[in-house]
Chains A and B, each alone.
Chain A
Amino acid sequence: MEARPALSIQRSGASQLSNHVVAGGLSSSLPALSTHLEETCQKFPNTQQAHAERELMTRHLAHATLLPANNGVVGHIFSSSSGFSSDIHYSSALPNEQNSRNSPFISQSPINTAALPLSQSSNSLLPQSTIPSHRNKENSGSWCTDPDFLDFPEWADQLITGDDALTSNWNELLVDNDMNLEPKTAYQVAKPCTTVPAQTQQLPSPSVESHSVVIPSSSANNAPAKPRMRWTPELHEAFVEAVNQLGGSERATPKGVLKLMKVEGLTIYHVKSHLQKYRTARYRPEPSEGSSEKKLTSMEEISSLDLKAGMGITEALRLQMEVQKRLHEQLEIQRNLQLRIEEQGRYLQMMFEKQKSGLDKLKGSSSNPENPPAPSDATNESPTKIELESSQRGNGNSGTGTVNAKSMLERSPQEVCGEHTTPETVDLEKAETHVSESSSQQPSKRPRLEE
């Protein structure tokens, strides 16, 4: 974990835009980047992210001329990554705010490229506790590691040393939310960052936290050399095209394919491993049943299904398909449920804290500990909206959602401190049974079941 997180900050902290910039900026002109943007944006199924990147791109193109060639590229990484990472922050995650955040960095970039990562990461901080991004979709590409950091060894080293402190800060931050970490973190952040400008007195960035989780490569040693790429069918198409142009999978070389594909952010390592997989797939079609198992003859494989004599192979396969489809269906449903649950939890947390801050204000003036009418009105729309948006069967949900929020708010004065789980157990159980995909006959209060 030592070396990797450092690079992952940059790698994954930077958006794929900046990845492209790094790889392409050195040799190609900046306008060329915008043409590649389309293709590489297709790498990730996120139009939202693509829009954010186009925004960043157009802004950076304007600023690019201010910076010297190499620094310009580096500046792009960091300024765009700062924009991106500030983008992911919960409290300030509006596209408008990206603009204001980016400019300070762009002006700083010529100063010290090595200092940039830490300054930008600390600047894009949240002053409060670690409620991470609600822009889930935008982050899906953030872990995409990028290309050749081999070109930037000096600051990479500095990052490597600097990151341990940051990571440990982050760990502390998450574990001890109530502790005042500022003196500690200021010390620890200051330690490795000798050249960093004075802004780095803040807590380490949640962009660190959200991206150290996404450490791309699992090998600790060759981190810069083997970042992991997430392939898509479109990218694979381009790959196959290139391979065919070069005369087939046997004759094509990784270097040739890489050149032909002209995809920003793609390294020869990616192409190499992909080519290997491709070759294997073509010349040993469908090994199936896991890679390490013995290859059975097709008759043995079929009879391994071992179905009753009445069933032909066709029916057996049909049955297998049915089961698999069923499993997949259920998995999708479960996943959606899980997403919604967490969304709800996050929403409640937000309301809870809003409520808490509202109460603190009230406590000063000796009024009753009930909610002022304003917050509860505000909650009326939002829970309903969330329920309606995310629920496929919004029938009973909107009502329950409102009821839930209200009842939670009423109870929250008792639970101001700390137990964040209890208010949530309120009537969400009812919501749970409502959202279950088939009508469940069991009551919401479930007896303890022993298995």
Chain B
Amino acid sequence: MKFGKRLKQQIEETLPAWRDKFLSYKELKKLVRLISSAESPEFGKADAGAEFMYLLNNEIDKFNAFFMEQEEDFIIRHKELQQRIKRVIDTWGPGGTKPSEAEYKDEMAKVRKDMVDFHGEMVLLVNYSNINYTGLAKILKKYDKRTGGLLRLPFIQKVLQQPFFVTDLVSKLVKECENTIDQVFPVEVEAEIVKEQREAITVAGKGIFRNTVAALLSMQEIRRGSSTYGHFSLPPLDFPDSDLIHSFQLNSPITTV
């Protein structure tokens, strides 16, 4: 139930528009339990397996559709952001009209915030992909375990090829975004100041930032250790600056309409 709880948490804390796009882990688990406990020969393995597959396929369709839709959006917004930055720089630069410095700074600040949020949203999509994949892998493992089936291996191979799992393009956009931000907003003395500030920071609201922190913490929790550790399990997550992440205290989720 550990993963189920984590997933639920993530769903609660994610962007509202995304909430119903995640894996229906609980329902699938219930089905698996139902299948394994069914003893009547009429409700045989074949039917149950078929039903299970049908649901899984629906889930995968859901992921694919949502993922590709978001991806398309990201492609458009990415380009727009690049153009917007260029415009702002040009306007203030040598060739363009020169508005006041305050305006420039204001514009740049807005652009920067938008870019950072955009970056975060893309990363959240990659996270979405990942957590759904993890859920699928887990549910398949449960299914095989309970029913003695051999569904997991071939099915997961197919999942690996699905659009929602192939996150290469989004990752590429993420990196491009990072590069742009690094170029346009170069890191100066700020870095040291930030590193020194290790005090607790309250992250409130439903910002993208909050979501990414939540996602990261969740990921760490999920991978902390498994009671059914097998060769298909991932090793525990360990990354530097984990204390930084932990220093973020998340408020209780504020659900929005």
Which A residues lie at the B interface, using CB under 8 A?
A: 1, 45, 130-134, 136, 139-140, 142-143, 168, 171-172, 174-177, 209-210, 212-218, 228-233, 236-237, 240, 274, 277-278, 281-282, 285-286, 288-293, 298, 301-302, 304-308, 310-311, 313-315, 317-332, 334-335, 337-339, 341-342, 344-346, 349, 418, 420-421, 424-426, 428-429, 431-433, 435-438, 440, 442, 445-446, 448-451
Contact = CB atoms under 8 A, between A and B. Distances in A.
A320 B116 contact: yes
A305 B210 CA distance: 8
A436 B230 CA distance: 14
A317 B157 contact: no
B50 to A, nearest CB: 4
Given A175-B45, A298-B113, A330-B237, A277 B73 contact: yes
Given A171-B46, A289-B117, A290-B18, A281 B224 contact: no
B161 A133 contact: yes
Interface in B207-251: 207-209, 212-213, 215-216, 219, 221, 223-227, 229-239, 241, 244-245, 248
28 contacts: A136-B157, A171-B53, A209-B158, A232-B169, A236-B75, A278-B76, A286-B117, A289-B15, A305-B209, A306-B203, A307-B201, A308-B202, A310-B197, A322-B194, A324-B123, A327-B216, A331-B126, A331-B219, A338-B133, A342-B157, A342-B232, A421-B230, A425-B231, A426-B231, A429-B231, A440-B236, A449-B226, A451-B221
Nearest to A434: B235
Contacts of B233: 432
B119 A230 contact: no
Nearest to A307: B201
Nearest to B72: A231
A313 B116 contact: no
B117 A428 contact: no
B76 A210 contact: no
Contacts of A418: 148
B57 A424 contact: no
A305 B203 contact: yes
Contacts of B194: 315, 318-319, 322
B49 interface: yes
A236 B79 contact: yes
B38 interface: no
Contact of A281 (B65, B80, B235, B256): B80
Nearest to A232: B169
B135 interface: no
Contacts of B72: 230-231, 274, 277
A142 B163 CA distance: 10
A313 B225 CA distance: 37
A349 B155 CA distance: 14
Contacts of B54: 1, 171
B75 to A, nearest CB: 5
A409 to B, nearest CB: 15
Given A290-B15, A424-B232, A176 B46 contact: yes
Nearest to B238: A438
B62 interface: yes
B28 interface: no
Contacts of B174: 328
A289 B206 contact: yes
Given A140-B163, A330-B239, A338-B133, A306 B153 contact: no
Contact of B168 (A45, A210, A290, A338): A45
B184 interface: no
A132 B112 CA distance: 45
A421 B245 CA distance: 36
Q: Which of A212, A233, A293, A328 has the most CB of B within 10 A?
A: A328
A171 B45 CA distance: 10
A440 B127 contact: no
A346 B114 CA distance: 43
Task: Place the interface of chain B in its size category.
Answer: 35 or more
Contact of A317 (B53, B113, B161): B113
A321 B118 CA distance: 10
B157 A133 contact: yes
B75 A323 contact: no
B2 interface: yes
Contacts of B45: 175-176
Given A175-B45, A215-B57, A429-B229, A304 B151 contact: no
Given A176-B45, A289-B117, A421-B144, A346 B153 contact: yes
A274 to B, nearest CB: 7
Interface of B: 2, 5, 15-18, 45-46, 48-50, 53-54, 57-58, 60-62, 64-65, 68, 71-73, 75-81, 84, 109-110, 112-114, 116-121, 123, 126-127, 130, 133-134, 137, 144-145, 148-151, 153-163, 165-169, 171, 173-174, 178, 181, 185, 187, 190-191, 193-194, 197, 199, 201-209, 212-213, 215-216, 219, 221, 223-227, 229-239, 241, 244-245, 248, 256
Contacts of B208: 288-289, 320
Contacts of A328: 123, 126, 171, 174
B60 to A, nearest CB: 6
A399 B69 CA distance: 44
Given A1-B58, A323-B213, A285 B137 contact: no
B190 A315 contact: yes
Contacts of A330: 216, 219, 237, 239
B117 A349 contact: no
Given A132-B154, A302-B113, A327-B212, A335 B46 contact: no
B46 A172 contact: yes
Contact of A213 (B15, B60, B126, B197): B60
Nearest to A428: B231
B53 A174 contact: yes
A228 B65 contact: yes
A233 B239 contact: no
B232 A286 contact: no
Given A131-B157, A289-B207, A432-B233, 4 more contacts: A281-B76, A298-B110, A307-B203, A324-B120
Contacts of A325: 178
Given A231-B71, A236-B76, A330-B219, A420 B205 contact: no
A324 B148 contact: no
B68 A228 contact: yes
